[in-house]
Amino acid sequence: MRVLIACEFSGRVRDAFIKQGHEAMSCDLLPTDQPGPHYQGDVKDILNDGWDLMIAHPPCTYLCSSGLHWNKRRPERQQLTDEALSFVRTLLNADIPHIAVENPIGCISTQIRKPDQCIQPWQFGHPESKTTCLWLKNLPLLIATNILDKPSYGYWDNQTPSGQNKLGPSKDRWKMRSMTYQGIADAMALQWS
């Protein structure tokens, strides 16, 4: 298959599909972190290049619930949310037979449609929690590959005891939080091939 991984700089999902023998390319405004087929630029430039499958990770800054409260405090952000939703619609409506759009819980669910599935890293072998929604077109739900029990101390490795994400503020925090977990990338490549 020809697989486009939209809005991915890490190369994790791209490389998982390449390992399965597919022609896969990542695309992002940023350069790729890992050498491999990558288009640095706007995904809309290559969206109609005859892909069989697209997995898209649109930026969540103006879409996720954890940031939407700022729209009331800073009204100029609402336009950025509207633009982000328009971009998600472009991805979901692309002329590609199989599509998965991935994002945290947020306004895609209320402004476009409910997700087809929500997954967690701990369902794919990572001792962490991060609810990830999937909007699917002509793809089956992902099946968990390695379900872990919650640690005995009561919270996942990426959480504080109160349940908050324990990754402190930094210039790269957004980048670290946006990377797809390897177990999820591998499941996508195996199950959506």
pLDDT digits (tens, 9 = 90+) for 118-177: 999 999 999 988 899 999 999 999 999 999 999 888 887 877 676 666 656 666 755 566
Residue 61 lies in a domain: yes
Residue 152 lies in a domain: no
In this prediction, residue 106 carries a pLDDT of 86
Query: In the sheet where 38-40 sits, what is the strand order?
Result: 38-40, 23-28, 2-6, 53-56, 98-103, 132-137, 117-119
pTM score of the predicted model: 0.89
The total domain count for the chain is 1
Residue 46 lies in a domain: yes
| Share of residues in the chain with pLDDT > 70 (%) | 85
Residue 163 lies in a domain: no
Range of the domain at 83: 2-120+134-146+180-191
In this prediction, residue 190 carries a pLDDT of 98
Taking the C-alpha atoms of residue 37 and residue 171, their distance in angstroms, rounded to an integer, is 26
Looking at this protein, which amino acid is placed at residue 130? Answer: K
Residue 165 lies in a domain: no
Residue 127 lies in a domain: no
Mean local confidence (pLDDT), 48-71: 82
Residue 129 lies in a domain: no
Mean local confidence (pLDDT), 100-115: 92
Residue 167 lies in a domain: no
